Structure 1
Amino acid sequence: MAQAIDFEQLVTATGDAVVVSDANGAIVVWNPAAERIFGFTPEEAIGRSLDLITPERQRQRHWDGYAKTMRTGVTRYGADVLRVPALHKDGHTLSIAFTVGMLRGPDGVVTGIAAIIRDETKRWTDERQMRQRLAELEARVT
């Protein structure tokens, strides 16, 4: 017989950030990994807009896409990993990768979006440095 899953425990135990926002873009779930990655406590994040972690220059595009997703109930990012910059509480920029899932009420209407987020800042920085080094070495050969 299948055992019931404690989804709150699952979200809390997950090593990646779980951030859920409602139809208006207000944060309603913020797990310990989100606090570790972004620096905001649940008390600081829950109820706030996703602008909390969205860089200023990305906000218009983010909200245009968010509004379209809420209106249509469709996202093009459901199965794809999206890589974007994000903000840490102390103001430094992060490089994050995430997937999203649509949350729907019993009537099928979209009620929010769940994002599973990983901090890829170190990997992104390491890859950039490798590309620069490779370009330098290639320039020496030619």
Structure 2
Amino acid sequence: MTSPIDFAALVAAAGDAVVVSDPSGAIIVWNPAATRIFGYTAAEVIGQSLDLITPERQRRRHWDGYAKTMQTGVTKYGADVLRVPAIHKDGHTLSIAFTVGLIHGPDNAVRGIAAIIRDETQRWNDERDMRRRLADLESRVA
């Protein structure tokens, strides 16, 4: 017989950020990897808006989609990896990749959205630098 899984321990041990927000967009779960990636402690973000990590220029689109998901109980991003900019506590921009999942209550209503997030800033910067070097080399050959 297997022992029951301690889901809080699983979330805490995850190498990727686990961020869960309630129907209003307030953060209700924030694991140690989220602290490592974004710089905020759980105590600083629990109950706060996702605006803490969402760049201002993306907020309207984010909240429009968030509201639609809460109303319909459907997300078009369930299996897709999304790549977007985000904001670190100190203000610098991050490049993150994440997947989302809807958390349903016993009545099947959406009670929250869980995001599993990875910091891809270094990869994004490396790819940008490689594209620049390639363009420079191609311009020298032409």
TM-score range, shorter chain: over 0.9
Instruction: Supply the distance in 1 between the matched residues of 2:14 and 2:53 (Cα, whole angstroms).
Output: 20
Where do residues 1-142 of structure 1 align in structure 2 (5 Å cutoff)?
1-142=1-142
SS in 1 for 2:134: helix
* Counterpart Cα distance in 2 of 1:76 and 1:141: 44
Q: Is there any run of 5+ residues in structure 2 with no aligned partner, and where?
A: none
TM-score (norm 2): 0.99
Cα deviation 1:1-45 (Å, max 9, x = unaligned): 232100000000000000000000000000000000000011101
Runs of 4+ in 1 over 3 A off after TM superposition: none
Deviation string, structure 1 residues 28-83 (Cα, Å, up to 9, x no partner): 00000000000001110100000010000000000000000000101111100000
In the superposition, the TM-score normalised over structure 1's length comes to 0.99
Task: Determine what percentage of the aligned residue pairs are the same residue.
Answer: 77
Letter in 2 for 1:29: V
- Alignment partner of 1:78: what SS? coil
Residue 91 of structure 1: how far off its partner (Å): 0.4
Offset of 1:141 from its aligned partner? 1.0
RMSD over equivalenced CA pairs, Å? 0.5
